[in-house]
Each structure stands twice: as structure tokens, then as C-alpha cells.
Structure 1
Amino acid sequence: MTAVHTVLGPLAPWLARRGPVLAHEHLVLDLSRPDDRAAVLDTDRDAPAVVRELTSLREEFSLALVIELTCRGMGRDIAALARISRASGVPVVAATGWYHQGFHPPEVAGAGVEQLTGTLVREITEGADGTGIRPGVIGEIGTGGAQPTEAEARVLRAAAGAALATGLSVVTHARRGQGGRAQLDLLTGAGLPPYRVCLGHQDLLDDPAAHRALAAEGAYVAFDTIGKARYRPDADRLRLLLALLEAGHAHRVLLSGDVSRRAYLQAAGGPGYGHLLRGFLDQVRAAGVDEPLIDLMTRRNPLRFLTGTEAEA
């Protein structure tokens, strides 16, 4: 395996073998809008609580890595991620890309695929936001519906081009789980192998057949909103996950909680970053899933995904 690029430098994958990986989280972001001012994880106000949670998970579960998917236009602060990583002792992978069209910065409008690809490649090879810190993943590349808009399609093609040029993998945002098939078709149509694609938020889509089809094609299927009861109860997520495992696709599953606003932090009474490890996985175990499969989903899969390694069958 090649090294994983974290905000504190390259991390040999064997160093992350001691514990689980959170495959889709946010540590700092700003998705606030006039009708929703609370979609924020603030660098100053919230960072101490984030550090406490990550430190606790490192001490209790040997948390090995966090894949942080706040990209351009989402309030990304890579320097803050480095401070959080250093303070908590947990390696963090930063991201580059663009979210769905409602959050595209002005740079996307009118820019061609080649220009957008160049922007991503420069960040990946030279560092982002003047920090010299290199993103280690492309995402979360967003679409807001079953089919991407014209601008979202350009961004997806740019993500594929940058992934092919740099060796990084691509994580998508599929709103409410919709649009994963269109995302995968567009990315693979641009030449990106499916095992370098993670389709986001599939636990919000109650369609086991769709999950099976995406996994069978070779893409990673993310159950990454675990604990977000306002969207779906975890009992539904467990049912959908077990169906995917029973179909033989454990090697295509990634798990996380997608903490994306202050209200989800433990300090604010939310499930926090540890809900997957402290709560949901106990339900998975109680359903009969053994430790090797849990290790596959929470450690081996995300490491192979990040390093662009073909997944085991």
C-alpha cells in the first residue's frame, strides 16, 4: 500500500492498523444559510469539544484515522484540521473538491472540466489554501438529486480526472442517498475504476437491491450517517447493512457518522463521533456479525479505499 496523506504528513498504512477509521466526518465546516444558521462546526467555539471526543476515541478504541470531507465551499480550514489532529493525536485526512451545486463557490461557474481538474491537481500536489498540506482524498463531491446538474457533472468529471492524475480516490455526497448510480456511471465513464469510488449516504436510501448493484459493480457503499435519527433510525440502517453483508458485499462497505453541525457533538447532546464505535457496532455484533467482518468494514476497507488498492473479493 502507498502512504496515506494526512494533515501532518504521510502515514504508512501499517501505522493505522491498530484501530478503526471513521470514513466520513467533518471536524470544521460552515454550511450555514439564511434558513439554517446552525450547520456549523466553528474553529474556535467547537474545536475543543472535537479534540476531546477524538482523544477519547483514540484512548478507548485506538481510533487510527479520520477522513475529513469538508471541501472547497464548505468552510474548509486545513490549518485548523492540523491543529485538531496534533492536539488529539488522531491522524486526519483532508479533502479537496466541491460539494453539491447549492454550495458551489463562484469559481465553478463557467469553468470547464480541464480548468476544474487543474485546480484539484494543484491542491493535491502542492498543498491547499497556502498551507502546503496535501489533501489525501477527493470529496465529498456532491449532487443534489437523482441526476447531477450540469455544473455537478462538470465537478464529477473533474474529480475523476484529478483522481486519475494523482492516484487519490473519490467520495461522493448523494443527497438522501439518491443519485449514486448516476454518480458512479459518470465517474467510471471518465475512466476511474469503481474501487476508487465511495458512494456517500447510501444508508439513507431504503433500497437493498440498489446497494447490492453498486457493490457488485465494485464501488464502495457508504453507510455514513449512522446516528442521525432525524433522517432515519439506526434500526433501518442495521437492516440495510445486514442485507448487504448477507449478499456477500462486506468488502465494499464503509461506515461513519458524518458529524456535520454543532448539535451532533456530544457536548451539545448529540451522538458524537463515537456513536458508531460505542453504539451501532454493538447492534451489529448482536445481530451475529463477527469481529473479522467488523474489522474489515471499519479498518481494512477504508485503508484500501484511500490507497486505491483493489478490494479483496
Structure 2
Amino acid sequence: MSNKIRTVTGDLTPKQFGETMIHEHVVLDLSHIRQDDDPILANSEMLDRELERLKASGCGGIVEVTNHGMGRDVKSLRDISLKHHIPIVAATGYYIEKYYPSEVFEKSEDEIVELFVSEITDGVGNSDIRAGIISEIGSSLHEMTKTEEKVFRAACRAQIKTGAPLSTHCEMGTMGSAQLKIFKELGADLSKISIGHQDLNGNREEYEHLLNSGVYIQFDTIGKNTYRPEEERLSDLLYLLDKGYVKQLMLSCDITKKSYLKVNGGFGYEYLFTHFIPVLKEKGTSQEEITTMMVDNPRRFLSF
């Protein structure tokens, strides 16, 4: 059986994905934790305008990593995918402890494995829409809590059972090595693991430690220049490209707020295409390297 990428509209062949944003949120609600309504993204006219701009800038695929407790709505994602003719991969998973619904503390590791597997193989909730990635599985800032470790172990076991890709959240770029340790211990397929938010890390030794294990890493908060100056993010990415790691790097913006949208005066999803990639090229990155990071790597990572 040939490899397929599982999307909200069904299984697609990898060739049906163009330049892909590997870590995004399109429908999201974090207002219950953040106590304001900026981190609410919904299927709306405003989002339609934003996504039209994104599509016009060259995007040909979105990996939507919103999961339980983050306001995931797979039916809205399917509507959006059909409306804009953009393939969208939905996620199963739990985020970081601060955002966990109470069930996470009550469920056993085995029950969490069962949930993740069933959302990939059968469908999310009472829908026939299946998750195509286990994500964004998160650890907290400079620590992985006991319950987060339980979720990581469950995610890892679900990855082994299904063969599905798995991507993570590293709070401010921290704890990637601790995540990798669990994946190695449990025998996950490291070619199907991607460690997130590494552009916020800045530790080149750790980058190489992660990459040498065979996992992907994501530079996926592009445009969030208050978190880390763009020059530093670019410098690290160019360093890794120079070292020959192009086949393990993937890019995204991780939009989580209305104020980030271009139509609201923010940098927007399109920033990756209209600003960051052109700057990479100015600094000597070839079109071939861009295509590897934006097209080939996501296709290979996402298919199972």
C-alpha cells in the first residue's frame, strides 16, 4: 500500500501537497487560559480574507496542530479546506499541562494511547474526519511535568501503533533533548518525529544532537520577532543549512492570535512566503533548498 497523507477531506497522495506550513493554527480557542479573546481563531470572513492572501503567496498545505483543550474543530477545518482548496492535516493530542482538560489527569497512559489511535484510524468525536498527525505534544518551560511525560509516552506509543507523524511543542525552544530521550527509549520511528519551536532555542550543539538522531526540527515561529530577533533565527537556520541538514528542517509561523493576522495589521501566515523565504534567498539559500524544506520534507514526514 502506498503512503498517503491523512487530511480533513480524506487521504491524499503526497504530490497533492505544495509548499506546506508544518505547524499552524487556523481554528483555535485559548481564551479560557489566556483570559482574553485575541487567541480565538474561527471559520469566519476575516479568516477567509487571510487565507486567500496566504494561498496567493504560494502556500499549498497546512498542518493544523490544534488539539484537545485548545479549541480544535475538525468540521470547521474541513469547511475551510474545501472552501480554499488547501489540504489541511488535523491533529490528535494534548498540549502542555497548563492547557490540559481535566480528563488528562484522570486517564491512564493506555487510555490516552487508545484515544490518539482511534482519532487517527476511525475519526475525531462523532465525525468521520481523521487526524493525520499526533501534535502538538508539549513540555513546559525548562521542565517536563509528570503528566506531560505520561502524554509523551502515550503519543510515542500511538506513533508506533499507527505509523503516523508526531510533532512536538518545546516551550521557548526548551526540552527537545528530554523529548528525544523518551522517543528513543520507547522505540519511536525517529524519521516520523519533528521537534517544534527550535528557532527559539539558539543552542547549536543541541540542534546537532537532535538532528544527528534522525528527527526533524522545526523553525516554526517565523515572524514572532518579539520572541527572538529575526537575525538570530536566520543565522541559526543558515548555519544548519551550511552543515548539510536541509533534509531535516521544516518551517512555519505558528499563528495563534487574531492580532497576528495580516488583515488585522499583524505579520500574517503569509510572512513566511512574502518575507522570510525571500530573505533566505538573498542570503544565498538556493531554490532547491527551499523546496526541500517546504515541499519534500513535509511530504515525506506526513505520509504513512
TM-score (norm 1): 0.93
Question: In structure 1, how many angstroms separate the alpha carbons of the residues matched to 2:171 and 2:143?
Answer: 11
CA offsets per residue over residues 28-47 of structure 1, 9 Å max, x none? 11112465414523325xx3
| Deviation for aligned residue 1:261 | 1.0
Question: In structure 1, how many angstroms separate the alpha carbons of the residues matched to 2:124 and 2:73?
Answer: 9
Which piece of structure 1 moves more, 28-37 or 262-271?
28-37
Aligned residue in 2 for 1:40: 39
- AA in 2 matched with 1:208: R
Contact 1:7 1:78 in 2 (8 A): yes
Contact 2:160 2:188 in 1 (8 A): yes
Aligned residue in 2 for 1:7: 8
Aligned residue in 2 for 1:194: 190
CA offsets per residue over residues 59-97 of structure 1, 9 Å max, x none? 342x22100000011100101111111111111000000
Aligned residue in 2 for 1:170: 166
Question: In structure 1, how many angstroms separate the alpha carbons of the residues matched to 2:148 and 2:30?
Answer: 17
| Deviation for aligned residue 1:208 | 1.4
Q: Give secondary structure in 2 for the equivalent of 1:64.
A: strand
Contact 1:216 1:249 in 2 (8 A): no
Q: Which runs of 5+ in 1 are unaligned?
A: 309-313
| 1:59 pairs with one of 56, 60, 63 | 56
Contact 1:52 1:88 in 2 (8 A): no
Aligned residue in 2 for 1:115: 111
Aligned residue in 1 for 2:133: 137
- AA in 1 matched with 2:273: L
| Deviation for aligned residue 1:239 | 0.5
| 1:304 pairs with one of 294, 300, 304 | 300
Contact 2:57 2:273 in 1 (8 A): no
* Residue 285 of structure 1 pairs with residue 285 of structure 2: no
Q: Relative to 1, partners in 2 of residues 1:52 and 1:122: Cα closer, same or farther, differing over 3 Å?
A: same
| 1:72 pairs with one of 62, 68, 74 | 68
- AA in 1 matched with 2:166: V
- AA in 2 matched with 1:92: I
CA offsets per residue over residues 239-293 of structure 1, 9 Å max, x none? 0101111111111101000001111111111111111011000110011010000
| Deviation for aligned residue 1:174 | 0.4
TM-score (norm 2): 0.96
| Deviation for aligned residue 1:166 | 1.1
1:231-270 matches, cutoff 5 A = 231-270=227-266
Aligned residue in 2 for 1:22: 21
Question: In structure 2, how many angstroms separate the alpha carbons of the residues matched to 1:82 and 1:40?
Answer: 21
| Deviation for aligned residue 1:182 | 0.4
Q: Relative to 1, partners in 2 of residues 1:33 and 1:181: Cα closer, same or farther, differing over 3 Å?
A: same
Question: In structure 1, how many angstroms separate the alpha carbons of the residues matched to 2:157 and 2:81?
Answer: 29
CA offsets per residue over residues 199-249 of structure 1, 9 Å max, x none? 110000111111111111111110000001220121111001011111111
Aligned identity (percent) is 36
Q: Relative to 1, partners in 2 of residues 1:294 and 1:85: Cα closer, same or farther, differing over 3 Å?
A: same
Number of residues of Structure 1 aligned to a counterpart in Structure 2: 303
